[in-house]
Structure 1
Amino acid sequence: MNRSDIATGAAVITLNLLQREALADLLQQERKHATRWWSLLNEMRFRGELPDWIKNQNIGSHPSYERMEEDRIAFNSALFGKRIHIHHEGEVTYESTDPNIHTDY
């Protein structure tokens, strides 16, 4: 898929590189905790171990992860002007020394 990571039109503020890196680091730490909890809930759902009060809330399911990912992209676009790679300005480039690997993503 050849989709741009740039979403500067959605950005509500302008960050310099140091601000971008500091906020991205903090945000990724918070997201690491959220993803860990989602993973635990997903495993509990898979094993049938969720308590009754949470089984029907669609938490820790694939659709809940997709909603979380959509919200993450919207937030990244608004704060960083980027969809995914929030630590860097501009498009991300991939390089490989293997001529058989296609790197135009």
Structure 2
Amino acid sequence: MKIDTAVHTLPPQSGPKTEHKRGGECIKTAWGCKMTNTTLVHDVKPTLRPREVAAYCSIGVSTVWWLTVNDPTFPKKIKIGPKTTIFRKAEIDAWLAAKAGGAR
């Protein structure tokens, strides 16, 4: 998809507004935005809520909570409020990579 404006936004669940220079190819995903043909490559959202972790890992939300209690290799949850928990996306990626490496 060619970007013909200086600013575009991702879907509301994907995070804040993202700015890119005119031109270049933009690849939008549910987990971030990557520009090709430029030096700008970034993740829009470095953290994930439990429901997003479940979708990202193709598991259920209850399994995410089960893993936080029963799997010592699963990334630690971060409480940012009394009812708000997040996980670092980089840690989830590392956990998935370790699981994929061990399965081979």
Normalised-by-shorter TM-score class: under 0.3
TM-score, normalisation: structure 1: 0.23
Structure number having the greater helix percentage: 1
Q: Which has the larger radius of gyration?
A: 1
Query: Which structure has more strand as a fraction of its residues?
Result: 2
